[in-house]
Amino acid sequence: MKFMMLVIPKGYEQAKPGTLPDPKMVENMMKYNESLQKAGVLLALDGLHPPSMGARVSFSGGKPRVTDGPFAEAKEVLGGYWMIQVKSKAEAVEWASRAPMSDNEIIEIRQVQDFSDFPPETQKHLGDFKDKQSPPRK
Amino acid sequence: MAAPDPRPAIDAVWRMESAGLIAGLTRMVRDVGLAEDLAQDALVAALERWPVSGIPEHPGAWLMATAKHRAIDWLRRDRLLDRKHQELGARLEAGASEAQDPEEGEIGDNLLRLMFMTCHPVLPAEGRVALTLRLLGGLTTDEIARAFLVPEATVAQRIVRAKKTLAEEKVPFEVPRGAELNARLSSVLEVLYLIFNEGYAATSGDDWVRPALCEDALRLGRVLSELAPQEPEVQGLVSLMELQASRLGARIGPSGEPILLLDQNRSRWDHLLIRRGLAALERAARLGGRGPYVLQASIAACHARAKAAAETDWPRIVALYDDLAERLPTPVVELNRAVAVSMAAGPAAGLELVDRLVTEPSLRNYPLLPSVRADFLKKLGRTDEAREEFRRAALLTRNARERELLLSRAAACGREGPPDPGSEG
């Protein structure tokens, strides 16, 4: 089973452009990342720049509207994710519990959807879409 | 505090900690059988205590401390007369109160020491494989027996003997270094790939695949690749497993029936795993690897890169199988080579190779031999012979799903009766 562990860092919604985690935080994170990798459960991970460097495209009346970050209304924003492969949600929870987070920070655990989760008709559409994505070739 | 069912959380902790726990205990008591018993005792204690007390902050350390106390009890009860065991008891008592988690690196080292111990050359090959599957892979004796096409009692005996030999020979609990490391890795790799294959094409039971077993093997493979990043064959095996695992979801149909490689919906392949597999293969190539696992991963990569079955580079696959057959001249490799040859040069060429394997004793009960032969015969229009071979394969397989597939392919060869005059040859 694949899970995404989504990181919601405290105060990141207000972080200035170019804000990076402090070196101590990076060090702790690297240790944790290593523990995931050494346990053979880590598939992928990424960190995200703050919302002040991003934009939101919202939709209303069939029209997109662009708002540059930061977003005044946002209370919780993503700071990054881990994709892990484990036996159960309980195991993902246990891994998340061991992450080096500060008070009031959140890790949200979400299972990755599998092809077989969808009814056959939807699977067909998913298949049609994915068929158009070329796998890496040499 | 609200109390949800604690069992899944305890299971999760056990899943994360047990192998390292057994490895850590083996390091102390120098006996894998005893270590396994002590770890189990600690789990029983956790199942009694944690639902009431909650899961401790450092569950791994809790389990280890509990197991150490059991070990001390055990030593007091049975072994305290012996000076060596007195020393062990003192060492355990000194360490039993440690509450902090052991270092991440130390857990990994102990796991690998355990892998190398259960794969030690002092054991016969079958003993290494059986013991490692049991202690690190968690397979039952029966599953190991089916994977190896030998009776269950034989495997049980191998495990007992292997444990006894390890104790008698006082096999050191250590990660080998230098040239010895490389020499002993191949045995570890063989074991991991066997676990993977049992999940990828279950030899018995009602499920065609057991993805969990593949994930177990991949997990151990990824762990190993962290320890031996410079070893091309480790990267090769990890690549092979990632690439094959990428097809797991596409290997079964809506009602659990097997779907063969060339019939699979390639959009269902897991592209994240394909990318990981190709990356591992590139690491192996940078290290100059051309060993059996790197070659098999290269073959798997040919399939992964083909957008459609018809675009498969069969001549390249044949060339890779030629290399593989040179380094690993086994009947099973030869059988797979025959399939590649048939795709590149036609079913008659494949049949010629397979017919040479018919008298091979080690393939006598191997369902893939008659099913491959049947496939060639069918393509050649020899449907009566093909039907017979599909049926023979169906009798040999112990996997219910595979049997259904083989019987339906036999039925697709038409009814028994006088051969179609135009189909011979």
Place of tokens 């892979």: B137
- Residue A107 β-bridge partners: A7
**Inter-residue contact B425 to B380 (CB < 8 Å):** yes
Q: Give me the pLDDT at residue B392, please.
A: 95
B36 CB contacts (<8 Å, ≥6 apart)? B22, B135
Q: What is the count of structural domains for chain A? A: 1
Instruction: Note whether residue A137 is domain-resident.
Output: no
Q: Please give the average per-residue pLDDT across B203-231, as a whole number.
A: 80
**Inter-residue contact B220 to B234 (CB < 8 Å):** no
pLDDT grade for B71, boundaries at 50, 70 and 90 = confident
Secondary structure tally for chain A: helices H, strands E: 3, 6
The C-alpha atoms of residue B14 and residue B17 are separated, in whole angstroms, by: 5
Name the DSSP letter for residue B258: B
Distances (CA, A) of A39 to B19, B127, B221, B323: 11, 26, 10, 34
**Inter-residue contact B254 to A121 (CB < 8 Å):** no
Strands (DSSP E) found in B38-132 = none
Structural tokens at position B365: 């009960």
Q: Please give the average per-residue pLDDT across B49-65, as a whole number.
A: 91
With a cut of 70, say whether residue A130 has pLDDT above it.
Answer: no
Q: Give me the pLDDT at residue B176, please.
A: 84
Phi, psi of A116 (to 5 degrees): -75, -5
With a cut of 50, say whether residue B421 has pLDDT above it.
Answer: no
- Supply the Cα-derived Rg of chain A in whole angstroms: 18
Which of B9, B104, B218 is opposite residue A40, by nearest beta carbon? B218
To the nearest whole Å, the CA of A45 is away from the closest chain B CA by 12
Report the mean per-residue pLDDT for chain B. Answer: 85
Stronger pLDDT, B298 or B171, i.e. the higher one:
B298
Lowest model confidence (mean pLDDT) among B69-73, B138-142, B181-185: B138-142
pLDDT grade for B62, boundaries at 50, 70 and 90 = very high
Cβ count within 10 A of residue A23? 8
The C-alpha atoms of residue B234 and residue B77 are separated, in whole angstroms, by: 44
Instruction: Note whether residue A45 is domain-resident.
Output: yes
The model's pLDDT over B7-16, given as tens digits with 9 standing for 90+, comes to: 888 878 887 8
- Residue A84 β-bridge partners: A3, A42
Determine the structural domain holding residue A71 and report its residue range. 2-131
Instruction: Note whether residue A79 is domain-resident.
Output: yes
**Residue A77 maps to which CATH number?**
3.30.70.1060
B180 CB contacts (<8 Å, ≥6 apart)? none
Rounded to the nearest angstrom, the gap between the alpha carbon of residue A95 and the centroid of all alpha carbons in its chain is 15
Break chain B into its structural domains and give their ranges: 7-95, 118-169, 186-290
Instruction: Note whether residue A23 is domain-resident.
Output: yes
Instruction: Note whether residue A138 is domain-resident.
Output: no
**Inter-residue contact B16 to B216 (CB < 8 Å):** no
Q: How many CB pairs under 8 A join A and B?
A: 86
Among chain B residues, CA nearest to A32? B104
- Residue A106 β-bridge partners: A8
Distances (CA, A) of B156 to A135, B133, B315: 44, 12, 43
Structural tokens at position B321: 């199988």
With a cut of 80, say whether residue B295 has pLDDT above it.
Answer: yes
Which of A35, A94, A131 is opposite residue B9, by nearest beta carbon? A94
Pairing of strands B398-399, B204-205: parallel
Closest CA to A100 of A48, A18, A17, A24: A24
pLDDT grade for B84, boundaries at 50, 70 and 90 = low
The model's pLDDT over A30-70, given as tens digits with 9 standing for 90+, comes to: 999 998 998 899 999 999 999 999 999 999 999 999 999 89
Is the CB of residue B304 less than 8 Å away from at least one CB of chain A? yes
Q: Residue A6 in 3-state DSSP?
A: strand
pLDDT grade for B424, boundaries at 50, 70 and 90 = very low
CATH placement of domain B118-169: 1.10.10.10
Place of tokens 């008709």: A121
pLDDT grade for A117, boundaries at 50, 70 and 90 = confident
Instruction: Note whether residue A47 is domain-resident.
Output: yes
Distances (CA, A) of B144 to B116, B194, B198: 19, 9, 9
Q: Please give the average per-residue pLDDT across B240-266, as a whole number.
A: 89
Is the CB of residue B307 less than 8 Å away from at least one CB of chain A? yes
Phi, psi of A80 (to 5 degrees): 160, 180
Task: Kindly list the residues from chain B whose CB atom is less than 8 angstroms away from the CB atom of residue A36.
Answer: none
Q: How open is the CA angle B3-B6-B7, to the nearest 5 degrees?
A: 155
Which of A44, A93, A126 is opposite residue B272, by nearest beta carbon? A44
Which range is most confident: B117-131, B197-211, B218-232? Answer: B218-232
Structural tokens at position B318: 């044949």
Please state the pTM of the whole predicted model: 0.83
Is the CB of residue A85 less than 8 Å away from at least one CB of chain B? yes
Task: Kindly list the residues from chain B whose CB atom is less than 8 angstroms away from the CB atom of residue A137.
Answer: 305, 307
Rounded to the nearest angstrom, the gap between the alpha carbon of residue B341 and the centroid of all alpha carbons in its chain is 27
Q: Do B249 and A83 touch (CB under 8 A)?
A: no
**Inter-residue contact A90 to B12 (CB < 8 Å):** yes
Q: Please give the average per-residue pLDDT across A93-106, as a whole number.
A: 93
B7 CB contacts (<8 Å, ≥6 apart)? B51
**Inter-residue contact A35 to A98 (CB < 8 Å):** yes
Instruction: Note whether residue A136 is domain-resident.
Output: no
The C-alpha atoms of residue B1 and residue B9 are separated, in whole angstroms, by: 15
Task: Kindly list the residues from chain B whose CB atom is less than 8 angstroms away from the CB atom of residue A133.
Answer: 267, 271
Place of tokens 């998913």: A126
Task: Kindly list the residues from chain B whose CB atom is less than 8 angstroms away from the CB atom of residue A31.
Answer: 104
Q: Please give the average per-residue pLDDT across B290-315, as a whole number.
A: 95
Task: Kindly list the residues from chain B whose CB atom is less than 8 angstroms away from the CB atom of residue A136.
Answer: 274-275, 278, 304-305
